[in-house]
Structure 1
Amino acid sequence: MGKVLILGGTRYFGKRLVNQLLKNGNHQVTVATRGLTKAEFDGPVDHLIMDRNEESSLVEAARSGYWDLVFDNICYSPDEALAATTAFDGYVGKYILTSTLSVYDFGKSPLVESDFDPYVYDLKRGGRSDFSYGEGKRQAEAAFFQKANFPVSAIRIPIVLGPDDYTRRLHFHVERVMQGTPIGISNLEAEMSYITSEEAADFLLWLGGTSLTGPINACSNGSIALGGLLEMIESIVGKKAIVAENSKQEDESPFGVPTSWIMDTAKAQAAGYNFTTLSDWLPHLISQIAEG
């Protein structure tokens, strides 16, 4: 890959990606952040101070050298994406945007990349506060795929799980079952896709070494219903979950989707990537969290 720039790489799968690049060697890795979070990596990393919301700051970072590859983990709006299409024009070989399952509407299952087409989506201007998370990512994809003059891939990932999840979404469920406190879930039969923080980083690394462009789904093989997830937690911790259909906001599950939300990964698999299987790693992760 050569010279690699990572926008937002100080925690979670962004940090894992940095360490994977360092482990593989043959890469000059630069991490660009606001400098608010100190991070230690498994080797030497260059560091740029950059404000993602300031176009001049982004331009300065982009044009500090030619980048063979850019990973953008912190783009959430069309204005940020459009700024990047200008800043990196002529200064990047390939650009990878971290996108999300949230670009897809509920209803169809499983979801394939063509179920949301950013190439024809109505592009609007605006910042992070002007859109919901999902719409912001839809607009960011539209901006890149409609306006960029360089190759772009958008990795669409579901909820990312891991012991290092700073949002503690799976932790929420495990801890509440262990403590005997209510969990608000409206549809226990809704199934979801997931991916680990380790595999999210692995997939990004793999994608950076391919010629694939456009949107591409990435998640572990298999899915699990929310009711099945609670049963798995119950079995591991030895306690019964308390489920409340009508609950206070603070008790609502961060996985509380109204219907199934599952992605199809045939495109990535056809290109040669082999995903892990959800049932192979989820019980172990739950045990890790339960043991503290």
Structure 2
Amino acid sequence: MREVCVIGGNRYFGKRVIARLIAAGDRVTVINRGSSAPPPGVIHLVADRDDEKSLEGVLGPRTFDVVIDQVCYTPRQAEIARRVFAGRTRRYVMTSTVEVYGYEDSAALVPEDAVDPRTVAVDLELPWDDPEFLDAHYGEGKRQAEAVFAAAGPAFPYVTVRVAHVLGGGDDFTGRLDHYTDRIRTGEPIAVPAVNHPATYIHVEEIADFLTWTAGAEFTGPVNAASHGTLTTEELCAAVAVHLPEGRTVFRSADAGDVSPFSFTRSYGMDNSRATKLGFTFGDVSNWLPRAVTETLRKAG
């Protein structure tokens, strides 16, 4: 039986990861601030991950085979986690994001070495506690958090899972696919940039599978998690429109700051070949997209 710690993770694909770990026979400890109860069958510890003494206090002498950090958004949080969990775990898995490639613009799919966290500058003095600043610098916060873990060297074995845009599930709380559903139903124009680039995606169940698989693997460093294939905004909308024959899909050109959620002014889709070579089998986005749309429509209906 493995000892697995999950930090956060009560929502969306995090709760699916916990369910998979329990089903595999792992003993799971969930740490959160107590705002939501974890699923049955886990050990629940209440702590503020931003408070180092609080985190150390609830952990006591506990050690883990692997820690899965679902809610590390800033280098400050990463610094605390690195100090607290050094010597407590054989493996640390941080959920990162495709947004770490926010400075890229590549027609080819982007591999992990396009952003080497060992070369990313860390600035702990930026206003990371300001929600507006953090929201506007989400990708940069993740980049710098990755850099903190990378700086620890071999003594702190870590993985950062760079997650593609996630779709699917009746519990998708982001509202991003709903954005298109609502506009197609009403005929309200959908804002896209003049040159609209495709992106990589992953289904909510697939990213839960991938994180669970990663927890039991041995590799370290950054890894991209994305289904095969890309989608444009137009393809997403076409998949929605099939279910809304009474609707109307209208696009309008807009400035970069005013575009719809899955519209992109640059190309930075992710290359998933590292994970594939390590042994994970991704699905194809075209195969699961109809399912993801159906789930969203069922939720909205």
TM-score (norm 2): 0.90
Partner of 1:83: 80
Count of matched residue positions in the alignment of Structure 1 and Structure 2: 288
Once residues 187 and 62 of structure 1 are traced to their aligned partners in structure 2, the CA distance between those partners, rounded to angstroms, is 51
Q: Which amino acid aligns with 1:125?
A: L
Q: Residues 101-180 of structure 1 correspond to what in structure 2 (within 5 A)?
A: 101-104=98-101, 105-108=103-106, 109-126=108-125, 127-129=128-130, 132-147=137-152, 149-163=155-169, 164-180=171-187
Q: Residues 118-267 of structure 1 correspond to what in structure 2 (within 5 A)?
A: 118-126=117-125, 127-129=128-130, 132-147=137-152, 149-163=155-169, 164-187=171-194, 189-238=196-245, 239-246=247-254, 252-267=259-274
Tell me if 1:279 matches 2:286. Answer: yes
Shift of 1:64: 4.2
Once residues 197 and 61 of structure 1 are traced to their aligned partners in structure 2, the CA distance between those partners, rounded to angstroms, is 30
Any stretches of 5+ residues in structure 2 without a counterpart? none
Identity over aligned residues, as a percent? Answer: 36
Which whole-Å deviations, capped at 9, do the CAs of 1:168-187 have from their partners, x for residues lacking one?
21121122212222221114
Higher mean C-alpha deviation, range 125-134 or range 98-107: 125-134
Shift of 1:125: 1.2
Shift of 1:248: 12
Let me know the Cα RMSD of the aligned residues.
2.0
Any stretches of 5+ residues in structure 1 without a counterpart? none
Shift of 1:188: 6.2
8 Å CA contact retained: 2:96, 2:142:
yes
Give the direction of change, closer, same or farther, for the CA distance of 1:60–1:22 in structure 2 (3 Å limit).
same
TM-score (norm 1): 0.92
Give the direction of change, closer, same or farther, for the CA distance of 1:54–1:145 in structure 2 (3 Å limit).
same
Shift of 1:10: 1.0
Q: Which amino acid aligns with 2:248?
A: K
Higher mean C-alpha deviation, range 130-139 or range 95-104: 130-139
Partner of 1:30: 29
Structure 1 residue runs of 4 or more that deviate by more than 3 Å after TM superposition: 61-64, 128-131, 246-249
Once residues 210 and 129 of structure 2 are traced to their aligned partners in structure 1, the CA distance between those partners, rounded to angstroms, is 26
